[in-house]
Structure 1
């Protein structure tokens, strides 16, 4: 019975963390607006991703705080909200930008 309570608590914690992540993303994330994040979503999606980012995505990425975005590269929550971290890390190169050295 105790393990069931722990499982439920863990599941609730994951749902809460994902909801909080989505709420932060709805406002802005690392100086990227919701519109910028939405523009990049097709090429970082876990399902049938686009090969190349749109011009709107690259424009948003050029305004973003790349070191801040790098801090999310190992997040286990990103796949739960449909984002492939490996594809996200490829965005600067696809937008002809240099990735941060510490990324």
Structure 2
């Protein structure tokens, strides 16, 4: 049930960010957040392999966003560190710790979008 509500919330956020994409090319930021939310939901549900799958996609888009948004570089760099930690913990089967790092990453992603 957590996954459904988290996915719904992330979907709404992604919709909001995608509307900004037209004005500020925030496409990678939106994709980063969407996959980060899915990774968080799977981590909270104890699905380490799914956490890793979405965290890796989030990382890919976060790195692209980092290059595209020089002014938001600091926050996206921090987000990347937390996403990488989330992947590391997910691969070790520590879904709860992976979820904690994904929450931190999402906070930095949000701050980079301002």
Q: TM-score, normalised by structure 2?
A: 0.32
Structure holding more helix per residue: 2
**Rg (Cα) greater in structure:** 1
